Amino acid sequence: MKKTLKSPIYKYCPVLLLMALLLFSFSENENSTEPKPKKATNEPVFLSATYKGEDKVYKEYPLKDGEFYNPILQGTYPDPAITRKGDDYYMVCSSFAMFPGVPIFHSKDLVNWTQIGHVLDRTSQLDVHNTGISQGVYAPGITYNENNDTFYMITTAFAGGLGNIVVKTKDPMKGWSEPYKLKFDGIDPSIFFDDDGKAYVVHNDAPEEALYQGHRVIKIWEYDVEKDQIIEGTDKVIVNGGVDLADQPIWIEAPHVYKKNGLYYLMCAEGGTGGWHSEVIFVSDNPKGPYEPAPSNPILTQRYFPKDRENMVDWAGHADLVKGPNDKYYGVFLAIRPNEAGQVTTGRETFILPVDWSGKFPVFENGLVPMEPKLQMPEGVENNTGKDGFFPNGNFTFTDDFQADRLDYRWIGLRGPREDFIKKTKSGLQIKPFETDINELAPTSTLFYRQMHKDFTFTTKMNYKPKSAKDMAGITCYQNERFNYAFGITRKDKDYYLLLERTENGKSKIVASKKIDLDNPVSLKVKAIGDQYEFSYALDGENYENLGGKVSGDILSTNVAGGFTGAMVGLYATSANDATPN
């Protein structure tokens, strides 16, 4: 009202002023009983979002009593590591340039998992603001130290000048320390705490002289628990190349040390993270070696089987072991489920298998035959996945109206905190657009949800009116900064347009565009069936119209776009749009 009261017409017309005040008062009365929705602005408000998984395998293989689905974490949750304290299990996964970093899960039985947050949830712990999505945080390890009742998470951060770091906590439910920077190079570190109080770090590193492409070594250091630092001069190479150097094995990595019956076991991934991926095991009577490989390596792989097998699981490896319920061992590991076109849109996912360790060496049960989509429950465990806050499994529907006090942990940012661009409103979630395009190496104002199925639909309802051609908001299907789709509303002159843009290998082109009216909120939808993606919109919330026909999901596949992540779908806004409607 301040501007109104200063207006000349009210200065000289008190009757008009009184009438205006009465009208304003009446309007306020009306609004107090039935609030009207705010007008759309160039800061979009997403009223709701729904993700629905519809994979055929879950329809054809319904669960029976005593069964659960594998993978246990669908979508891009790679490089799992696991530890146990009493009856509590904690598991972490890689997050690369996603923010917050290192999702952490809790379980009492290895079947029903709850995400309790992220280990690296502050910018002081993780700086990934200008890195590619497949950089950032690699292969975290998590270990509980009984000697001092402390949990440790150790990882390699390919950003922010951190390198190898460790954070720790007495209680994973209550957050983690600031990082301690560790003085060694290489990747994939993990910590082993011996029962004599000593501690060791093992990791992948480059050899002094590489003999072939992919030649790596495994190193071990003694670790000072009081100073949280490796002890300089204690490093030693304990594996050179892999199981048999004569075979020129590639990418020995992701090492973990375990102790059983007085012997020390070193388990590593070997063969690279693609089709030759596997898990191998070594043994020694000393934590610093020498280590001898098991005669029956690998103990886990899917590399030997036909590529056209049904319900194909591939690339299995990068594992960690834990003693489960009833003292039965289990192993978590990554693997993929390609679609019928051989593409990997869901990325590397977290699987689990029971492990037979009745002999000298552990072996993954059914880890050397084609994997099945279902497993038998551990004895005495009930399947509650998708209920009471437990992570869903199989086909499921996730709906968010953004009215909860806390944003669901499954919504993540990229290269920076979500809180920098989101704001909860009475009608939904408002996103403040950054001057950053989806293809830039910078934080984007995008709220991401992992693609967890080969067949899925994702819908959102958005209130938005762009003010200029630089404004755009909608959804994105995103593999990385060089391979993605953007589907949203922008402006050209005085008209509003819906457009679909495809970016392949860094080059963008408009697939289709259409002038639309923006009198009401717009509903946007993407539907994928394997390789085929369809983008559509509805102006009435119900009757969807396709834009651009069927388009290939090839650019959303890990084995096409490269890198280490799966596809994600996001609620996207930008004030740096450079896509011009046709």
Q: Note the maximum CA span of the chain.
A: 99
Q: How many CA atoms lie within 13 A of 189 on its CB side?
A: 28
Q: How far is CA 312 from the centre of its chain?
A: 22
* Sign of the four-CA dihedral 484, 490, 491, 496: positive
Which residues share a beta bridge with 477? 485, 569
Contact between residue 223 and residue 188 where contact means Cβ atoms under 8 Å apart: no
User: Can you say whether the dihedral through the CA atoms of 550, 527, 410, 104 is positive or negative?
Assistant: negative
Give the DSSP H/E element, type plus range, for residue 441: none
- Residues 6 or more apart whose CB falls under 8 angstroms from that of 194 comprise 200, 259, 287
What is the chain's length?
582
Beta bridge partners, 351, equal: 333
Q: How many Cβ atoms from other residues are within 10 Å of residue 260's Cβ?
A: 14
Is residue 60 flagged as an active site residue? no
Q: How far apart are CA 393 and CA 63, in angstroms?
A: 11
Q: Which residues contact 399 (CB under 8 A, 6 or more apart)?
A: 48, 49, 50, 51
Of 243, 228, 211, 252, which is closest to residue 164 (Cα–Cα)? 228
User: In this structure, are residues 352 and 367 in contact, taking their beta carbons and an 8 Å threshold?
Assistant: no
* Angle value at C-alpha 382, between 380 and 387, nearest 5 degrees: 160
Active site residue 372: no
- Answer yes or no: are the C-beta atoms of 569 and 51 closer than 8 Å: yes
Label residue 126 exposed, middle or buried (CB < 10 Å: 0-12, 13-18, 19+). buried
Q: Are 173 and 153 in contact (CB under 8 A)?
A: no
508/544 Cα distance (integer angstroms) = 25
Single out the catalytic residue among 55, 109, 188, 253: 253
Catalytic residue among 43, 79, 270, 501: 79
Q: Are 450 and 75 in contact (CB under 8 A)?
A: yes
What span, in angstroms and rounded, lies between the C-alpha atoms of 408 and 397?
A: 14
- Residues annotated catalytic, as ranges: 79, 253
